[in-house]
Amino acid sequence: MSRFSDHDLPDAANGSRGRPIWPSPQIAAMFEKHFSTSESHLLARHFKKTTFAAEEILWQEGDTVERRMFLLSSGYVKLSSRRPDYRMPIVHAVIGPLSVFGEESLFLREPSLYTAQCVSDIEALFMEPSAFDQLLYDQPRLANRFMQKLFSLSLHRQRATYQRMMAFF
């Protein structure tokens, strides 16, 4: 069962001096590769932490997804969809730490095209639409660069899925 935190991640302005903004050095490095330290701190304020247990289904294909974009800190999630003949599902990807998923739910209110299921226990950061909207309002340039990075990650995953599918034909 998931456990969503009630608080944003700690940030330097809230007295966490000397403590890491992100839950892992790898996530901090990923953000600081694309954003300055101060921008990373601003982004961190818009995320919250959660955990899910192995085998837990985050959402099913066809469900209207709870509007959250996730960034995996640890663990693995399988993204799959049903075949038309309802036999074994098609596994589009098994994603791990530093992967983003569910980002489309920030922009679309449509049923999901895939099922997201935990392969292992996971720890993740998430951003809700209200936090994303606040980022857009407070920091439009940073939000624009953040969206560009999200779209880039999403398109790379889409291309990889397409290439795997084409290998079957």
Q: Which of 143, 156, 149 is nearest to 95 (CA)?
A: 156
Query: What's residue 16's pLDDT?
Result: 41
Query: What's residue 1's pLDDT?
Result: 56
For the entire predicted model, the pTM comes to 0.78
Q: CB under 8 Å, gap of 24 or more: what pairs does 137-142 form?
A: 138/42, 139/42, 142/35, 142/39, 142/42, 142/43
Cα–Cα separations (whole angstroms), residue 166 to 20, 30, 61, 144, 158 = 42, 30, 22, 32, 12
- 38-94 residue pLDDT tens: 888 888 888 999 999 999 999 999 888 778 889 899 999 999 988 777 777 888 889
- List b or e across 135-165, with b for residues whose CB sees 16 or more CB atoms inside 10 angstroms: beeebeebbeebbebbeebeeebeeebeeee
Query: What's residue 18's pLDDT?
Result: 40
Task: Retrieve residue 53's tokens.
Answer: 């247990």
What does the pLDDT average to over 140-167? 82
